[in-house]
Amino acid sequence: MTLTFDDFVGRVASELGIDVANPARDTSLRDDLMFDSIAVFEFVLVLEELCGVLMPEALLSTIDTLGEAFGWYEVRVGSA
């Protein structure tokens, strides 16, 4: 079953062991959540696990917000 945006954020936050206060689709990983590059990298690993697929490198730099990550999740899980 595809997660809702809030469930998606909660699941990712749980996996990463962090709190995400007031998550929104335009919440930036780097600017709002203050993720450094390794945190972003781990976020992508979690995202891949939720989707069950590996993310192509070319897409990596296109994901900066929770909404963009959720969009990728929806496409992958929705098409599975």
Partner 1 sequence: MPVERDAAQEDPLRGRHIVLRPLVADDYSQLYEWAAGGLVPWQWQGRPIGPEGFQQTLWSGALAHLVICEPTSAKPIGLFTAYGANFHHQFCYVQMGLVPDVRGHGWPIEAGLLGINYLFLRHNFRKIYGEITSQQVGQYGSAIGPGFDVEGRLIDHLFVDGELCDMIIVSLTRATWEDQLRPVIRRLQSSTREETS
**Residues forming the site for partner 1 (CB under 8 A):** 36-42, 44-46, 48-57, 60-61, 76
Q: Closest approach of Cβ 25 to partner 1, in Å?
A: 22
Cβ atoms 36, 62 nearer than 8 A: no
Give the nearer residue to partner 1 in terms of CB position, either 20 or 55: 55
Using CB atoms within 10 A of its CB, is residue 7 exposed (0-12), middle (13-18) or buried (19+)? Answer: exposed
Give the nearer residue to partner 1 in terms of CB position, either 13 or 50: 50
DSSP 56: P
Give the nearer residue to partner 1 in terms of CB position, either 22 or 61: 61
